[in-house]
Amino acid sequence: LALVLSASIALQMFKHIKWRSLIVILAAALIGRVGGFFILHNYGEQDFLKIILGIFLISVVIYLFWSKPPNPEKKINGTWLPIILGLAGGLIGGIFAVGGPF
């Protein structure tokens, strides 16, 4: 269901896609995913990975609860942001097999 929904949205927004950013994010996510699989393969049976995931999720919830709403007029122009987000998404997806954008 998620794949069909994502494909539908991508087709509707096809002309608005920034291909250079997408390729950077996907390449970084692939590298992060490989790193996540390596960590999962070597340390997957240990409970500290579950603790790390729990701390990460609680930290995100606390941050979102106390942060101010984003300013829609402020543009984020960072060359490292797509790389960091791609690596983080791929790494977390590879270690914990959680559904996400990658």
For residue 82, name the pLDDT band (cuts at 50, 70, 90).
confident
Domain membership of residue 47 as a residue range: 20-67+77-102
Q: Is residue 88 part of a domain?
A: yes
Q: Is residue 51 part of a domain?
A: yes
State the total domains in the chain: 1
Q: Is residue 49 part of a domain?
A: yes
- Predicted pLDDT at 101: 55
Q: Is residue 81 part of a domain?
A: yes
Sign of CA dihedral 21, 100, 89, 62: positive
Q: What is the pLDDT of residues 15-45, one digit of tens each?
A: 888 888 889 989 999 999 999 999 888 887 7
Exposed/middle/buried for residue 45 (C-beta within 10 Å: 0-12, 13-18, 19+): exposed
